[in-house]
Amino acid sequence: MRRQLNRQVVEIAHALLVLAVATGCRQSKEPTDAPEAIETKTGIRMVAIPEGWFEMGSDAGAPDAKPVHKVWVDAFLMDTFEVIQDEFKKYQLPDPSHFKDPRNPLEQINWTDAALYCNERSRAEDLELCYDEETWRCNFDANGYRLPTEAEWEYACRAGTSTRYSFGNNPGRLRSYAWFADNSRDRTHRVGQKKPNRWGLYDMHGNVAEWCNDFYSADYYKDSPDRNPRGPSEAKQRVLRGGAWNSHPESCRSSYRTSDPSIDDTCLASDAIGFRCVRRAPQKKVTNPNPERANMVNTNANTGFVYDDIYLEHKTTPGHPERPERLAAIVDRLKASGLYTQLLLLSPKRAATEWITMIHSPQYIERVRESCQNGTQYLDSIDGPISPKSYEAAVMAAGGVLCAIDAVMEKKVTNAFCAVRPPGHHAVEDRAMGFCIFNNIAIAAKYIQKKYKLEKILIVDWDVHHGNATQAAFYDDPSVLYFSVHQYPFYPGTGSETEKGTGQGLNYTINVPLLAGAGDDIYLNTFQEKLKPAALDFCPNFVLISAGFDAHKDDLLGSMKVTADGFAQLTRIVKEIAEKCCEGRIVSTLEGGYHLQGLADSVEAHIRALMQ
């Protein structure tokens, strides 16, 4: 659908951009210089917004703009002007605008059609599409066009300022920068007729309100990450930013937030809503790269992420719930949500036999190796299908968790999530059980104690199935507090409340068996009333999580009703314990979770909570 933009529109846009840059240069006394202006292949003018920190929100505004919090935004490109009607029709898309004029901002546009335009524009420039046109999820790693996050939008609008408006605190000056209720004559106007902000962006405070990519939540700021926040995973409305032709001055402030339900229905769309596009800033070439950091996407990350393709080589039988697609769903989601680039990627290594033998017998380890090498189809039961590379995957799964522990202890990250398989908490000393081969979490606890001389370990297991093997490994050990919340009665049959440990380990095993159907409220109450006091009294030196997500409401095996947000809240409680007792040291490793969408949702929510 590639066509040349109307020559007159290009000439006007070019003249306006020259004015924007000139204006920005005249204000060079401000702390940030005017960013570079560029022109795209299709003739659209954009501003190269630099990376940086800013204070997002306003304590003097509405409750949904509180609290003010410091946010980092990566570099990106943003349209100088709101998308105009002539540009929108260029891709043979019908113009829904009420106030017709080729150089007026497009309006009365629903969110989905705005995202569709972003894709069409990406196609015209041979860029990777950001939006999946079935789910409309955004791939933030793609180099194509998309709608801005509200953090990006506010950062660009403020342009280095912390005042109510980009030009200061005086609403009397708004007439020079925006079309709004006091001067618009009840309609939109051609873009670029008012003054730009100091970064050369026009109409940020008025003309039409602008769609952002984020779903809207009134209390999102309370728990949003401090680096590249991208909104909640789902909601009924999308965020709108910026004033419009019918807005009062208070609604034109840099921090003002609102939302609209017209996600995919033009009939619901308002003639005060438009949009502009952004795209990821082109990667700058790095000279003399450090090969040791080749796998580190973000060296300033707070949270590590362990993954390797070897985990996909543990092939199970057709239709088996514990399948390679589980990890593919997780990685795809993290990339689509933009979280992947915010994590420190940790490359796993094989766990040395000396560490595995702290939990498993040498005879069993050798039997696993030989069974995989000899083409045996099942290990110990039909629950445990194996393939030629299953042994390698299992050794690397255990090693991946140890790698995460090293990264935490070396202060490369505060916490980490390990997307590994096969899982581990059912594997006993000399036998595979329940999809598990080596008990990754139990090996990790012994590793911490022996290598780093940290005595007290808390293991939190929220898999829908009781971690029978983890319990058995530490049943008489007072140095490990094992806490499990699980469906009961259920596989593997252990985990009653009466199982509390033995000998010196008595009362260092805490089981909370729950009936089928338990949801967020019951789980959260359990963590607040039972885990938190016991854990704070124990005061661990390190926290491990057996993160099974098969208690999710849509899971194929469990019968619980936990939501992705529920898992995020459980994570925050565990984080609070770790922050009070052990400087936030947490390593979480994947156990169960077999509904791919539910698993991806839950892991995303879990990691977001770890990152906060």
Residues 6+ apart with CB under 8 A from 84: 9, 102, 103, 104, 105, 106, 191
DSSP state of 435: T
**Distance from C-alpha of 200 to C-alpha of 166, rounded to nearest angstrom:** 11
**237 pLDDT tier (thresholds 50, 70, 90):** very high
Model pLDDT for residues 518-575, shown as the tens digit of each residue: 999 999 999 999 999 999 999 999 999 999 999 999 998 999 999 999 999 999 999 9
Residue 283 is predicted with a pLDDT of: 57
DSSP state of 243: -
Q: What is the average per-residue pLDDT within 357-381?
A: 97
Model pLDDT for residues 77-120, shown as the tens digit of each residue: 999 999 999 999 988 888 999 999 999 999 999 999 999 999 99
Model pLDDT for residues 273-320, shown as the tens digit of each residue: 999 999 998 854 333 333 333 333 455 679 999 999 999 999 999 999
**Distance from C-alpha of 463 to C-alpha of 466, rounded to nearest angstrom:** 7
Model pLDDT for residues 16-36, shown as the tens digit of each residue: 333 333 333 333 333 345 688
Residue 22 is predicted with a pLDDT of: 36
Distances (CA, A) of 571 to 172, 234, 424, 527, 558: 47, 19, 20, 10, 20
The residue ranges of every structural domain in the chain are: 7-280, 303-611
**Distance from C-alpha of 98 to C-alpha of 78, rounded to nearest angstrom:** 25
Is CATH 3.40.50.10610 correct for 303-611? no
Which is higher by pLDDT, 409 or 61? 409
**Distance from C-alpha of 370 to C-alpha of 363, rounded to nearest angstrom:** 11
Q: What is the average per-residue pLDDT within 485-496?
A: 98
Answer yes or no: is pLDDT of 486 > 60: yes
Side-chain half-sphere CA neighbours of 335 within 13 A: 12
* Percentage of the chain lying above the pLDDT 70 cut: 91
**Average model confidence (pLDDT) across the chain:** 90
Q: What is the average per-residue pLDDT within 213-223?
A: 92
Residue 29 is predicted with a pLDDT of: 34
**266 pLDDT tier (thresholds 50, 70, 90):** low
Residue 180: exposed, middle, or buried by beta-carbon count in 10 A (0-12, 13-18, 19+)?
A: buried
Q: What is the average per-residue pLDDT within 417-441?
A: 98
10 Å Cβ neighbour count for 284? 7
Q: Catalytic annotation on 426?
A: yes
Residue 223 is predicted with a pLDDT of: 82
**Distance from C-alpha of 120 to C-alpha of 32, rounded to nearest angstrom:** 33
**Distance from C-alpha of 86 to C-alpha of 151, rounded to nearest angstrom:** 28
Q: Which two tokens stand for residue 167?
A: 């030009």
Residue 163 is predicted with a pLDDT of: 93
The reply to whether 7-280 and 303-611 are identical in fold is: no
Model pLDDT for residues 171-204, shown as the tens digit of each residue: 999 999 999 999 999 999 999 999 999 999 999 9
- Run of H or E including 480: strand 480-487
Q: Are 441 and 418 in contact (CB under 8 A)?
A: no
Residue 13 is predicted with a pLDDT of: 37
- CATH superfamily entry for domain 7-280: paralog of FGE (formylglycine-generating enzyme) (3.90.1580.10)
Residue 268 is predicted with a pLDDT of: 74
Q: Given 189, 205, 425, 426, which residue is catalytic? A: 426
Residue 36 is predicted with a pLDDT of: 86
**12 pLDDT tier (thresholds 50, 70, 90):** very low
Rounded to 5°, the CA angle 37-38-44 comes to 115
- The alpha carbon dihedral of 424, 429, 430, 434 has a sign of negative
Q: Are 513 and 467 in contact (CB under 8 A)?
A: no
